[in-house]
Structures are given as C-alpha cells and as structure tokens.
Amino acid sequence: MGLRMEVIKWLNESGDILFQRVPETGPADIKLGAQLIVHEGQSAVFVRDGKALDTFGPGRHTLTTANIPILGKLLKLVYDDHPFQAIVYYCSHQTFNDLRWGTKQPIMFKSEHSKWGIPIRGFGKFAMRIKDAQSFVGAYVGTTATVTIKDVEQSLKDRIVMRLNDTLGELPNLDITNLGGSYEEVANEVKTRTQADFDRMGLEIVDFVVGALNPDEKTMEQISRAREQDIVMSNPVYAQNRMIDVMQSAAENEGGGAGQMMGNMMGIGMGLNMGAQMPHMMNQAMYPGQMPGQMPGQMMPGQHPGMNPQMAQGQVPPAAAAPAAAPAGVECPNCNVGINAGSKFCGNCGHKIEVQEAHCTGCGVKMVAGAKFCGECGTRAT
C-alpha cells in the first residue's frame, strides 16, 4: 500500500529546487476526487510506472478521469472510491539568474599570429529556467526525489564551454585582434547553439553574457612582439630607427642592460630576417658613411685618406654641417700645397697632417694654428 493522499501540494521554501517528488519515497495512493494544489510558478507532473500521465499548471484541481483521461485506460475501470497509485513531481519555473560559467582549461583559439592557436580563458554569466516540465522530469525521473540548481549547474556549464569552443573555431572573421569587440556576437551565437542542448532537457537559456575572453599575460606579450615584427617587415626605416634607439639606450645605461639590448635587437632583427643587416646597421650607427661590407679603417677602391667612402663609390653622402672656417696659410709638408688650418689630411696628396700645439716662446700662451705672430705679445712664431 502506498501513502494515501487526498490533498497534494508542495512549497519551495529553499528557492533553489527545480523539482520535488511527492511523496519522496514510494508511490502514493491517490483517490479520485483528491485535491491537487499547484502554486504560481509551478507545474505538477503525474508519473506512473516511469511514464508521465499528465501535467497541471497553477491552480486547485480535483482529480477525476475527466482531467486525467489516461487513467481510465491504465486502470481499465475506475470507481470514485478506488484509489490509484502514482507519483507527483512538482517543478519550479522560476528563472535562476546570475549563474556563472568559466573555462577550466584554456581554449585554443585560431589566430594568424600562431599556427598552433592562442590559449585563451573566458568567463561570464547566464540565466535559465524549466520550459517543459515533462521533458525535464523525464530526464531525472527515478534517479532522485529532489533536484536543485546545484545538481545540474555543472552539467550546464560544461555544455556552454563546449559550444563556446565550437563558436570560437567556426565564427568567421574572428581573430585575437578583434575578439574584445565581438563579445556580443559571440554571446548570441553561443546562446543559440546551447539552446539546442537545453531543449532536450526541457530547459530554456534566458540570458547569456560573455564577461571576458582573454589570453594570459605571457601570450599578450608575444602578440605585441608579433605586431611589432609585422610593422618591421613592412617598414625597414622603422626597423633601423628602433635599432638605433636600442643602441643609444644601451649606451646611456652603461652599468647594465646589455642582455635586454640584445634581446630587443634580436626581436627587431627576427621581423626582417636581419641576420645579415644587423652588423651593417650597427656599423652605420658607430661609423657614419661606411659602405656595406667595409670594415672599420678599410679603404674602398678609389678612396683617398679623408675621403668619404660613399663619394669613392660615386654616391652622395648625406648633408653634414660644414666645419668652421679656419685661418689659411698652412702648407702640406709633403707637397707644399696650401691647406686649411686644422685639416687632418692633405686634399692634394692625401698626406696625414700631424697636428701639434704651438705655444709662444715669449709669453707661453697657446697660439692659433698657422699664426705667424703671437696674438698676446707679438713675438714671431718659430
């Protein structure tokens, strides 16, 4: 014999229950004419032998073969005073808000910056409720007397992350560079795909929000370097300027930073495949005007001492500030041709001019190069 019931009702006092079995154990002996009370936001599903007989919405119902017509077929003949055995499952149709989802493990996101994909993590919120009581009861009938939101929440989260993974892999025109501005598009697509899974359980996903989809900090640094390499590949002038900036920065911080400097230079060099170009760029920074392949101190064909190597190759060097005018009258000791005072090489024969400081024999004051008399005391230069 089951529990004899003439009034059937249930109150969801905790607020987190999705469905409740009445009675909790065994079937109930329900007499025709018994009262079934269903509160607002609830529905009651009659189950016999594991099969749903009928579903009642909010209100007070008197149980008869008229409102449960299938009973007449099951019991063959039903009398008013003959009880029948059944189980009632009360379902709560309230909306469960602020349910949180998140990725346990990173999702590999396709990107042109990495052929293996970029690992990203995501999180957000969603809201759900029971849409079809019979379908939901059918998924859990016979397993437990009570199902709470916590009992199904993890399963729902797993399905959401699975559909998020599919969406990120299949949504067109989506890349790591525009992912931050595509949260709404991603959320709508995930909601649509997830609803198909929820339908099979009799559930409805009311709202779905993507809070964030981000790579970790290390991956973001790698992406930033990749972007700079893209700029370097399309703009060699930018690469040269960056290389010079790095070397100047290292020169200003002599106490350390050599490793960081080389790291930055390697990063720039990788963008242009600059293994062969880097030495030349460094030489240009230290020896302006030097030709590619020319070693420091090496003369190029047709180059004379003091001649810019670019001029020896028929190239016009960049404009430079003209040296300050110096007193004339100095002669080359090799060919006796007049040259400007302060010149290091003779423009006629290329002879190196030894620069010696001259002092007045009369007063000891340093004399101007090429002067014949002391400007201080008038003594003749020797």
Q: What distance in Å separates the CA atoms of residue 31 and residue 11, rounded to the nearest whole number?
A: 22
CA geometry: angle 156, 159, 160, nearest 5 deg: 85
Whether residues 59 and 158 share a domain: the answer is no
Q: What is the DSSP string of 9-63?
A: -----SS-EEEEEESSSS-EEEEEEEEEEE-TTEEEEEEETTEEEEEE-SEEEE-
- Compare 126 and 251 and report the one with higher pLDDT: 126
Whether residues 72 and 147 share a domain: the answer is no
- Position 27 in a domain: yes
Q: Which of 361, 359, 330, 362 is nearest to 343 (CA)?
A: 330
Long-range CB contacts (< 8 A, 24+ apart) of 150-153? 150/16, 151/18, 152/18, 152/201, 153/99
Q: Dihedrals φ, ψ of 78, to 5°?
A: -120, 125
Q: Dihedrals φ, ψ of 235, to 5°?
A: -145, 85
- Position 181 in a domain: yes
Q: Which domain holds residue 134?
A: 96-215
**What are the residues facing 35 on neighbouring strands?**
7, 62
Q: What is the mean pLDDT of residues 1-10?
A: 72
| Percentage of residues of the chain with pLDDT beyond 90 | 29
Poorest-confidence range of 167-176, 223-232, 342-351? 223-232
- What is the separation of C-alpha 191 from the centre of its chain, rounded to a whole number of angstroms? 22
Q: What is the DSSP string of 344-364?
A: SB-TTT-PBPPP---B-TTT-
Summarised one tens digit per residue, pLDDT across range 179-233 is 888 999 999 999 999 999 999 999 999 999 999 998 877 777 776 777 666 666 6
Q: Does the pLDDT at position 325 exceed 50?
A: no
DSSP state at residue 179 = G
Summarised one tens digit per residue, pLDDT across range 28-40 is 778 778 899 999 9
- The confidence score (pLDDT) of residue 200 equals 92
Report the range out of 194-198, 233-237, 279-283 with the highest average pLDDT.
194-198
Whether residues 105 and 201 share a domain: the answer is yes
Whether residues 88 and 107 share a domain: the answer is no
Whether residues 107 and 11 share a domain: the answer is no
Cis peptide before 317 (omega within 30 of 0): no
- The confidence score (pLDDT) of residue 101 equals 97
- Position 319 in a domain: no
CATH number, domain of 175, equals 3.30.479.30
Whether residues 34 and 67 share a domain: the answer is yes
Whether residues 86 and 103 share a domain: the answer is no
- Compare 326 and 176 and report the one with higher pLDDT: 176
**Residue 119 three-state SS:** strand
Q: What distance in Å separates the CA atoms of residue 115 and residue 92, rounded to the nearest whole number?
A: 48
Positive or negative, the CA dihedral 222, 226, 231, 235 is positive
* HEC string for 94-118: CCEEEEEEECCCCEEEEECCEEEEE
Pairing, β 3-8 against β 28-38: parallel
Q: What distance in Å separates the CA atoms of residue 122 and residue 109, rounded to the nearest whole number?
A: 11
Amino acid at 348: N
- Position 129 in a domain: yes
Helix segments in the chain, DSSP class H: 70-74, 133-140, 149-170, 183-200, 217-234, 236-252, 258-272, 277-286, 309-312
Q: What tokens were used for 223?
A: 């992406």
Are 27 and 51 spatial neighbours (Cβ–Cβ below 8 Å)? no
- Position 329 in a domain: no
Q: What is the DSSP string of 191-242?
A: HHHHHHHHHHTTEEEEEEEEEEEEE-HHHHHHHHHHHHHHHHHH-HHHHHHH
Whether residues 137 and 178 share a domain: the answer is yes
- Position 211 in a domain: yes
**What are the residues facing 88 on neighbouring strands?**
22, 46
The structural domain count of the chain equals 2
Q: What count of Cα atoms within 13 Å lies in the side-chain half-sphere of residue 210?
A: 24
| Distance set, CA 303 to CA 269, 299, 308, 345, 350 (Å) | 31, 6, 8, 13, 10
Q: What distance in Å separates the CA atoms of residue 81 and residue 88, rounded to the nearest whole number?
A: 20
Whether residues 77 and 117 share a domain: the answer is no
Give me the chain's average pLDDT, please.
Answer: 76
Poorest-confidence range of 140-144, 208-212, 317-321? 317-321
**What are the residues facing 87 on neighbouring strands?**
47
pTM of the model: 0.56
